[in-house]
Structure 1
């Protein structure tokens, strides 16, 4: 009886440690998303530093939970399953994110024309300034092959549709410039996008407000917009 009770205590301890990394990840992401904590704390410190370390600890605890549950799978198997799924998924997400960061240049912008960079309106620049956004870059040439111009003067309605289909909310439209803003579900990271419409050509620029290495997110978004702007072959 005493051994069974002691085994249950160890199982509970291992199970709770296995859930520590997922709980920290949720708290950091949600807290940053709703503005309870700054993204530098929630993302850079709690997630990239402490969350990464704790993910390995939780993975080890999940393995311990499995071993401790083997003596009574019928009653303890669910604990082992939840621990493995939660800790395993958390570790996988951390590894995938770090691989994405390592595979892309440490930038937060992408554009189809850096020789004549697209400018944002005073409204967007004001919003970025009030939010403490990173300064806009002058050049990130050759960092995003996906961001290419559309060889046509798109109609404003088509530009708006391209932004909206990529998840942006259109915040300003004129005959020669369309702007939008997109906020990620997790952490609430923001990207601004602008389209410049000229005779025979439409360019795109996407800029992250936080100024962090984004693992190619700005490039991916700019590429999706570019694809939707170009006429079908």
Structure 2
């Protein structure tokens, strides 16, 4: 009986990673919506499964060690370690997200940010994506941020919240001419793994869609290149998630990585 319990504990713990991969990849490949994959399968049912697996593993481990023959304790230990590691990872994410503002739209220029084309806006509307709000809009005026939970940022604008949280997300000034930078921007967007939607070097515009590996969440990115006062170029970027309230810092990281790569690419070219 103790051996059966240990085996069941290990089997359930090893099943959990598969379950979460199926939930995430099912969204990515269109088998179900992100609400089903993330909210229902992952959060509503998945997290309690970790708790059940941990309790079962502890029971199996204790019963396998209390008396001889002490068989099955290694399997029971696996049944404990898998959910402990998973829950530890989730706790780390939770702690990290506590210091990240609950926004999903970040731009280098919050006064005059890049704008998305009609094609991108139509694609967003087709999937009922988050509205693209004005960077100068106060957080308290936005529908998604009503209530006491957002009282701390209600008096700030959307742009201010992003700039306060991500000081590295700022316009990039380059010595190269806009046409050269525009070509480098398109190449860098592709190097980042984004799907380029619009590329207009003459207008200094590159638009792309970035997709996450897990769940396949899509974020839209607009890159704008303008001539600088010194004869070079000024690059601005805006990255906006289609779904979700908080991006856990993903859009800011994407912009920072893109600008860092573009800086190297433009200098080398």
TM-score range, shorter chain: 0.7 to 0.9
Aligned-pair distance for 1:119? 0.8
SS of match in other structure, 2:48 = helix
Specify which of 22, 34, 40 is matched with residue 35 of structure 2.
40
Aligned-pair distance for 1:171? 2.2
> Size of the alignment, in residue pairs?
226
Unaligned residue ranges in structure 2 (runs of 5+):
136-157, 229-233
| Structure 2 match to 1:180 | 208
Aligned-pair distance for 1:31? 2.0
Kindly indicate whether residue 134 of structure 2 is the aligned counterpart of residue 138 of structure 1.
yes
Note the aligned Cα RMSD (angstroms). 2.5
Aligned-pair distance for 1:78? 5.2
Kindly indicate whether residue 172 of structure 2 is the aligned counterpart of residue 150 of structure 1.
yes
C-alpha contact 1:112 1:204 (8 A) present in aligned 2? yes
After superposing the two structures, state which structure 1 stretch, 93-102 or 115-124, moved more: 93-102
Alignment of 1:31-110 (within 5 A): 31-70=26-65, 76=72, 79-80=75-76, 82-110=78-106
Specify which of 228, 237, 241 is matched with residue 208 of structure 1.
241
After superposing the two structures, state which structure 1 stretch, 101-110 or 59-68, moved more: 59-68
Query: Which whole-Å CA distance do the structure 2 matches of 1:54 and 1:38 have between them?
Result: 21
C-alpha contact 2:60 2:73 (8 A) present in aligned 1? no
Unaligned residue ranges in structure 1 (runs of 5+):
1-5
Aligned-pair distance for 1:173? 0.6
| Structure 1 match to 2:251 | 218
Query: Which whole-Å CA distance do the structure 2 matches of 1:46 and 1:146 have between them?
Result: 36
C-alpha contact 1:182 1:190 (8 A) present in aligned 2? yes
TM-score where L is the length of structure 2: 0.74
C-alpha contact 1:59 1:91 (8 A) present in aligned 2? no
Aligned-pair distance for 1:56? 2.7
TM-score where L is the length of structure 1: 0.84
Kindly indicate whether residue 138 of structure 2 is the aligned counterpart of residue 116 of structure 1.
no
Aligned-pair distance for 1:95? 1.9
C-alpha contact 1:112 1:149 (8 A) present in aligned 2? yes
